[in-house]
Amino acid sequence: MTERRRVYAGFLAATLLFFLFFFLTARTIGDAFPSTDTTLFDQKLAELFGSEDPYDVIFVGSSRVYRHVRPATFDSVLAAHDIPVHSYNLGSPGTNAFETPFQLRTILKRDREARIRWVFVALEGLEWNMEEMNLASDRVSRYFDWRTFLRAARLLGANETRADEDRLAALLDRVPPLFRNVTAYARGGNWLREQIEPGRSMAASSLARHEDGFLSLDTAYEYSEGAVREDLDERIETYTRNREKRAFRKGRGDTDSTDVSHQAPVLGDLVREIEEIVRGHGAEGVFFERNFNPGAPDLQAMKRAGRIRHLISLEDAVRYPALHDDRHRFDGGHFGAEGAEVLTRYLAEAFVPIARGNGGGS
């Protein structure tokens, strides 16, 4: 080998090893630091796996799972049908469909004894909560890996309701979270600051007054104070204002429908991944959908296509009129305590045939 070739070979080896050790370090050390803005989810995980009475059913999703599914009610309805279950609500505000597979991997990795048998998943839409303000968060950087980035690119590419330059800008906005994911950016720094800075810790979320991970918005409101109370008051006020507007629009024959057909390929991909994760763990996935979600994925079509094994749909206003009763709502997107109780009962009743193994869902 000539001297020049030896030098080039040395450079090549150094470059390859640079990247290899870079990614190894990022994955091993970077991933060891807990997220600084998923405290509620982390606390729920700790409670779920720290319980002496193991849980075998979990509910995963956004605030519309967190505030709507009351495990105690669910368990009692099933017990009345001689199906003993112990369920836990892992719903976490702001969870979107991209995040769900990441959450499931995180949860099931900790279930070393494979006690979880049923995983209820409520998927949100893919656009509405991909807001700019969240893209810079540590939480998004946790799940925004290459696969998610490519899915986001596909989704933006298929969305012809947006202008080309708008879609390109939206895609570029998603490069920083990908970079932060790949490099485990600032995870150690965030953790360090949380240890040494007074008042910085997000550990303020606590599971006090929660029942198996559930806390209704009415209870949350009752015990809220300061900025949290102001935020809740504002949500109620906005809901009241919009309800009047909606009634006016409906009177003119307008509809609230949103075209989300372009999301189908990406959602299909996500649903397949979720099914794989859950079944790979030896559990069964149960997708469920409910009202208040105009941009939600068309799970019915996926069920018909055989992509989903178990689906419970609570959207039908004729079959489930109480879920469309404004009196049960807390704000525009959530039920209050009574609504949660009603929804959980419907969900549990619909699950009975699935649990008995003679139903694929409604």
Partner 1 sequence: MIFTELRFLVFFAIVLGVHWVLPRNRPRKVWLLAASYVFYAAWDWRFLSLILGSTIVDYIVGLKLESGGDPRMRRGWIAVSVVVNLSLLAVFKYFHFFADSAAALLQALGLTVEPASLRIILPVGISFYTFQTMSYSLDIYRGKLRATRDFLDLALFVGFFPQLVAGPIVRARDFLPQLLRRRVSSDIAFRPLLLLFLSGFFKKACISDNISGVVDAYFTDPTAYDALSAWIAVLLYAVQIYCDFSGYSDMAIATAGFLGYSLCENFAFPYFAGSIQDFWRRWHISLSSWLRDYLYIPLGGSYGGKLYRYRNLMLTMLLGGLWHGAAWRFVIWGGLHGLALIVHREFHERVRGSSFRVPPAIGIAVTFWWVGLTWIFFRAADWQSAFVTARAYLLFESPGTSSLPVQSFGMFALLAIMHAAACRGTWRNRLLRAPRPLFGACVGAIVALILIFKAASVSPFIYFQF
Kindly list the residues in this chain that would bind partner 1 in the complex (CB under 8 A).
10-11, 13-26, 29-30, 33, 138, 183-190, 192-193, 195-200
CB of 66 to partner 1, least distance (A): 26
CB of 161 to partner 1, least distance (A): 32
Q: Measure the CA–CA gap between 314 and 327, rounded to whole angstroms.
A: 17
What do you get for the CA distance between the two ends of the chain, in Å?
Answer: 71
Q: For residue 295, how many other CB atoms are within 10 A of its CB?
A: 14
Of 87, 124, 122, which is closest to residue 214 (Cα–Cα)?
Answer: 87
Nearer to partner 1 among residue 17 and residue 150 (C-beta): 17
Q: Measure the CA–CA gap between 278 and 230, rounded to whole angstroms.
A: 39
CB of 94 to partner 1, least distance (A): 18
Nearer to partner 1 among residue 35 and residue 362 (C-beta): 35
CB of 106 to partner 1, least distance (A): 19
Q: For residue 311, how many other CB atoms are within 10 A of its CB?
A: 21
The tokens for 100 are 């769900």
Type of residue at 272? R
Nearer to partner 1 among residue 84 and residue 198 (C-beta): 198
CB of 112 to partner 1, least distance (A): 27
Nearer to partner 1 among residue 22 and residue 248 (C-beta): 22
Nearer to partner 1 among residue 27 and residue 109 (C-beta): 27
DSSP for 249-303 reads HHHTT-------GGGHHHHHHHHHHHHHHHHHTT-EEEEEE-SS-TT---HHHHH
Type of residue at 42? D
CB of 140 to partner 1, least distance (A): 13
Q: Which helix (H) or strand (E) holds 73?
A: helix 71-80
Cβ 274 vs Cβ 285: under 8 Å: yes
CB of 14 to partner 1, least distance (A): 3
Burial class (CB in 10 A: 0-12, 13-18, 19+), 229: middle
For 24-74, where are the E strands, in sequence order? 57-60
CB of 198 to partner 1, least distance (A): 5
Cβ 200 vs Cβ 194: under 8 Å: yes
Nearer to partner 1 among residue 167 and residue 187 (C-beta): 187
Nearer to partner 1 among residue 113 and residue 197 (C-beta): 197
Nearer to partner 1 among residue 10 and residue 360 (C-beta): 10
The tokens for 244 are 């009047």
